[in-house]
């Protein structure tokens, strides 16, 4: 890593990548003396806030958002690198019976049998849910029993007793104490979310930001990505 004076690096990211960053950043801070502050919001809101003029040193967001911000010149294209891949799962209250979601038919029947299903509105997995129900031909039956929140970890709705199950990225389900992940939804209807990282063109700490990206890309961190419910992506 470059020997740069200690700096405070700001990172704009979303809830899906926060858990793995929480695992990785303490090691980076110990190794370099830099400090990292996370600016958290939903993926949709993060993109909107950046396009409206808010800045930081590094962005770790959905790949398509990073690509768009690079095209606008807000992020430096030459610093863009893959970060993680996540997929969608179902979560229930810890200790509750686990429904069958092993096949598309079983998953469909589980949704039909559920008393209530929680999902976000602005998160990418939550935005995927209504269209998926349409594809499965059960939208009219499911809509009346959905419980929504704008964003955040939707599993807290289940642990609060306000819904029977949660539909969200597995990495976000794992971040909720008292929630148990049933498993991923079937591959035929699965949706993978790939994230990338890049440095802001207006970063005040570009050298420290480059050191952070180099650290995040180390192959030795793969197990921490798995621990957080993600797959590490490499260039």
Give the CATH superfamily of 8-85+194-232.
Answer: Periplasmic binding protein-like II (3.40.190.10)
Pick the CATH number of 88-189 from 3.40.190.10, 3.40.50.1360, 3.90.1150.10, 3.30.60.50: 3.40.190.10
Please report which helix (H) or strand (E) contains residue 70, including its range: helix 63-71
pLDDT attached to residue 123: 85
List the chain domain ranges: 8-85+194-232, 88-189
Whole-angstrom Cα distance, residue 215 to residue 79? 13
pLDDT attached to residue 4: 65
Structure token pair of residue 142? 């499911």
pLDDT attached to residue 43: 87
pLDDT attached to residue 5: 80
Cα 42 to the chain's mean position, in Å?
9
Do 8-85+194-232 and 88-189 come out as alike in CATH topology?
yes
pLDDT attached to residue 2: 46
pLDDT tens track, the chain, 235 positions = 445 689 999 999 998 999 999 999 999 999 999 999 999 998 889 999 999 999 999 999 999 999 999 999 999 999 999 999 999 999 999 999 999 999 999 999 999 999 999 999 988 899 999 999 999 999 999 999 999 999 899 999 999 999 999 999 999 999 999 999 999 999 999 999 999 999 999 999 999 999 999 999 999 999 999 999 999 999 8
pLDDT attached to residue 1: 46
Cα four-point dihedral sign 38, 61, 163, 227: negative
Cα four-point dihedral sign 147, 187, 62, 212: positive
């Amino acid at each position: 890593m470059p020997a740069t004076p200690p700096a405070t690096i700001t990172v704009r990211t979303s809830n899906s990548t926060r858990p793995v960053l929480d695992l990785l950043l303490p090691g980076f801070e110990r190794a370099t003396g830099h400090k990292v502050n996370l600016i958290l919001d939903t993926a949709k809101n993060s993109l909107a806030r950046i396009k409206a003029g808010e800045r930081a040193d590094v962005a770790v967001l959905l790949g398509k958002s990073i690509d768009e911000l690079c095209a606008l010149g807000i992020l430096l294209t030459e610093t863009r690198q893959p970060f993680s891949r996540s997929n969608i799962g179902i979560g229930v209250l810890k200790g509750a019976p686990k429904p069958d979601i092993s096949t598309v038919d079983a998953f469909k029947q589980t949704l039909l049998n559920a008393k209530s299903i929680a999902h976000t509105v602005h998160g990418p997995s939550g935005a995927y849910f209504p269209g998926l129900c349409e594809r499965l031909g059960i939208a009219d039956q499911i809509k009346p029993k959905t419980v929504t929140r704008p964003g955040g970890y939707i599993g807290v709705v289940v642990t609060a007793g306000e819904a029977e199950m949660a539909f969200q990225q597995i990495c976000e389900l794992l971040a909720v104490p008292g929630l148990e992940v049933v498993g991923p939804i079937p591959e035929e209807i699965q949706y993978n979310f790939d994230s990338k990282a890049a440095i802001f063109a207006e970063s005040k700490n570009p050298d420290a930001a480059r050191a952070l990206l180099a650290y995040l890309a180390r192959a030795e961190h793969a197990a921490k990505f798995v621990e957080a419910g993600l797959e590490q992506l490499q260039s």
